Structures are given as C-alpha cells and as structure tokens.
Amino acid sequence: MKRFKEARAKLLVEGILARGGGCMEGNHFNEHGIKAIGVVLGYFKNYTKSEYICIDDMGKCSEFALAVIDVMAPKSK
C-alpha cells in the first residue's frame, strides 16, 4: 500500500482508499492469496446500458499504472 500511495502522490492524484467487495478482479486474486489492489478509474451510470468512462480518465489511469510500475520496479544501484 505504501508504494501505491507513492505513485498516487507522484502524479498528484486524488483518490479514496477503501476496502471493497464485489466482482473486481483484485478481490478474486486476494481470495486466492495473491496480494492485489483494485484501481477503479471512475465510471458513470454504473451497471446500466448507458454506463461510460471518459477517455481522459482512461489516459490518467494509464499514467497512474506506469507510475505504480515505476515505484514497484527494483532500483539499480
């Protein structure tokens, strides 16, 4: 969780950290002993035929994923 927060701070991303449930893939990994954090990028009109995601939000989520990889990657000395 520490590195996740580092990546969030690196991009000045606001967010809410909360325990969740439901069908998120991260929950299934955790159930089977694989540590995972689910990241939700902000859906609108969830679970309806009109559900959508903003393209800009998808881009920001991609940048965030790269920041997480960057802080998780071993640093060479």
Report d(CA 71, CA 7) in Å as an integer.
Answer: 6
- Predicted confidence at residue 26, as pLDDT, reads 79
Q: Looking at the domain covering 2-72, what would its CATH class be?
A: mainly alpha
pLDDT per residue rounded down to tens, the chain (77 residues): 777 777 777 777 676 666 666 667 778 888 899 988 777 777 888 889 999 999 988 888 888 888 888 888 877 66
Report d(CA 56, CA 62) in Å as an integer.
Answer: 10
Query: Where exactly are the structural domains of the chain?
Result: 2-72
Helices vs strands, H then E, count in the chain:
3, 0
Report d(CA 64, CA 77) in Å as an integer.
Answer: 25
Side-chain-side CA neighbours of residue 36 (13 Å): 16
